[in-house]
Amino acid sequence: MRLGRFNADPIAVNVRADAPYADLISLVEAVKADPGSLAASGANRGGLSHLAWVGMLGKVGVDPIKANWVASDGSAPALQQLAAGAIQVVSTSPVEARALVEAGEAKTLALISGERSNLYVMERNQFPIAPVILGLVLGPVLERNFIMSMQISHGNLLGFFQRPVAAGLGALVCFIIAFTLVRALRRKPAMSAGTPTIQKGSN
């Protein structure tokens, strides 16, 4: 019998897009230098966002009592204050900050979580998340059907191209793969040619 549902989300550390912090390390160094100079928000005192923020500060050696936390009625008012420049940091769910990040008004420096988020690392490095999730969902189904088809055809790959529709789809997939590889190979020399070179002059 189901009694309830438990949901565990990481907390994202967000700053303004024009903030001078390239990563969480530079932000932590600024907080260490003067804990009261940076105002953070995201919830009332004792809320999940507040506890995640002070917990992280405690891990890096900053006294949470000295940190400046501005209590708010939730992440939405805190994000509005961040966009207006009234505060410098908002700790909240990545989903709640996503609209402001996609609008180019904020940036997420890191996630506060008990384990590493591979999807967040991929997104920071501009890997598309939707195809990855699609592959994780459909991958086992594709593998199971591929093994079944190989057993029926006794290991003969030509069995996938016996029917006209299958042959057409197979040819289309091969064309897309070849086209992608050729375009990637052509792009590399173009990028190399456009890279400026620095020449050192003689004194």
The reported pLDDT for the residue numbered 64 is: 83
The reported pLDDT for the residue numbered 22 is: 86
The total number of structural domains that make up the chain: 2
Domain match, 90 and 137 both: no
| pLDDT reading at 175 higher than 80 | yes
| pLDDT reading at 168 higher than 50 | yes
Instruction: Identify the bridge partners of residue 70 per DSSP, sorted by sequence position.
Output: none
- CATH code of the domain containing 104: 3.40.190.10
The reported pLDDT for the residue numbered 40 is: 92
Distances (CA, A) of 76 to 22, 41, 187, 199: 24, 10, 42, 51
Domain match, 64 and 110 both: yes
Domain match, 160 and 109 both: no
Domain match, 94 and 160 both: no
Segment 62-81 mean pLDDT: 88
Give Cβ neighbours of residue 177 (< 8 Å, ≥ 6 apart). none
Domain match, 141 and 156 both: yes
pTM above 0.85, yes or no: no
* Cβ proximity of 85 and 64 under 8 Å: no
Give Cβ neighbours of residue 66 (< 8 Å, ≥ 6 apart). 35, 36
| pLDDT reading at 15 higher than 90 | yes
Tell me which residue range forms the domain holding 187: 129-191
Domain match, 24 and 119 both: yes
